[in-house]
Amino acid sequence: MPLSPDQQAEIDALRSESQPTLRATVPGMEAHLYKAHEVLDHGFIRVIDYMGDDAAICQAARVSYGKGTKSVQNDEGLIRYLMRHWHSTPFEMCEIKLHVKLPVFVARQWIRHRTANVNEYSARYSILDREFYIPAPEHINAQSTVNNQGRGGLLEGEEAARVLEILKADSSRAYDHYQEMISDEGQDGLARELARMNLPANVYTQWYWKVDLHNLFHFLRLRADAHAQYEIRVYADAICKVVADWVPAAYGAFEDYRLGGATLSGKALDCLRRMLKGETVTQENSGMSKGEWREFEGVLNAPV
């Protein structure tokens, strides 16, 4: 459970103080504000603030005065058009600020998305908590034998047990030693900025992360993808649910054109046109490499 009673009390207090505003307001997001959505064993995401809504995307696209008079259906059509044609700037007009608690190895992937604002908990300044990510047994997988960068089948029996034992024991020992080194009881106490180097990458950190909707969609496309590491994908999935409540039309377009869509190369389109004319196209006469052909077939054969 990631929240202490004090933290829950603070969230409750924040949620009890409503103010009037003239800004664009989304009831679905108001319901999310400050609440912690749990992710992994100790992590969470919380919406701290947001700016804009579906109408703000359209408004920017039209650079019109005020909200405009178009019906919701027109707004949705416009948003789908913008998404389809990679007109990204109107989506940048919406902004979200999240509070995220996450393991350091996830944070290291996440931070590679540069077009965002971040304030992370400082282990130079403050002492990290004794919280480590220990995978659930159903998420302890073997190295994939077909993909250097992925997971294969589940580890089982003794091997799984040994892995869990190692992760738990090493985390615990590392934290004990961290505390021993920084303690100033009967000694000077090692500087925090040095002591932290003893902590493994499954230790939890936290940050405020603020990003515009266009860059958030880019993050979600890569991280909610089946090829993303499970431990970051669950964060992306949790954010997807929030975004669907925030900007339903934009999220719908994102789902259809990005998450559910595919980019085909000129060669692939050529093969497709031949196939639609009734020609039998195989990898051999496709002009594609084996890897490309396998991915192409994956796109064509995906379940409807």
CA dihedral 70, 74, 79, 82 (to 10 degrees): -100
Count of Cβ atoms closer than 10 Å to residue 259 Cβ? 14
**Candidate ranges 37-45, 119-127, 236-244; the one touching a copy of itself (CB under 8 A):** 119-127
Nearer to a copy of itself, 117 or 285 (CB): 117
φ, ψ at 67 (rounded to 5°)? -80, -10
d(CA 3, CA 236): 20
Of residues 199 and 238, the one with the C-beta less far from a copy of itself: 199
Q: Is 259 in the site for a copy of itself (CB under 8 A)?
A: yes
Residue 146 within binding range of a copy of itself, rule CB under 8 A: no
Residue type for position 58: C
201 contributes a contact to a copy of itself by CB under 8 A: yes
Question: Cα(174)–Cα(180) distance, rounded to whole angstroms?
Answer: 10
Give, as ranges, the residues between 261 and 290 that touch a copy of itself (CB under 8 A): 261-270, 272-276, 289
Instruction: Name the maximum alpha-carbon separation found in the chain.
Output: 83
Rounded to whole angstroms, the Cα distance separating 115 from 126 reads 26
Q: Toward a copy of itself, which CB reaches closer, 24 or 244?
A: 24
Question: Which 44-83 positions form the footprint of a copy of itself (CB under 8 A)?
Answer: 49-52, 56, 59-61, 63, 65-67, 77, 80-81
**C-beta of 269: minimal distance to a copy of itself in Å?**
6
As measured in angstroms, the least distance from the Cβ of 201 to a copy of itself is 5
Q: Report whether 179 belongs to an annotated binding site.
A: no
Closer to a copy of itself at the Cβ: 130 or 151?
151
- Region 202-241 residues binding a copy of itself, contact defined as CB under 8 A: 202, 206-208, 210, 212, 222, 229
The Cα 178–Cα 197 span in angstroms is: 9
Instruction: Please report, to the nearest 10 degrees, the dihedral formed by the alpha carbons of residues 268, 270, 275, 281 taken in order.
Output: -70
Binding test (CB under 8 A) with a copy of itself, winner from 37, 70, 130, 181: 181
Q: At what angle do helices 54-62 and 72-84 cross, to 10 degrees?
A: 70
Q: What residues are labeled active site?
A: 223
53 is in an annotated binding site: no
**Rounded Cα gap, residues 53 and 197, in angstroms:** 42
**According to the binding rule CB under 8 A, does residue 200 interact with a copy of itself?**
yes
Nearest distance, CB of residue 180 and a copy of itself, angstroms: 7
69 is annotated as contributing to ligand binding: no
Structure tokens at 138: 């159903």
Question: Can you say which residues are annotated as belonging to the binding site?
Answer: 89, 109-114, 120-124, 196, 212-214, 218, 223
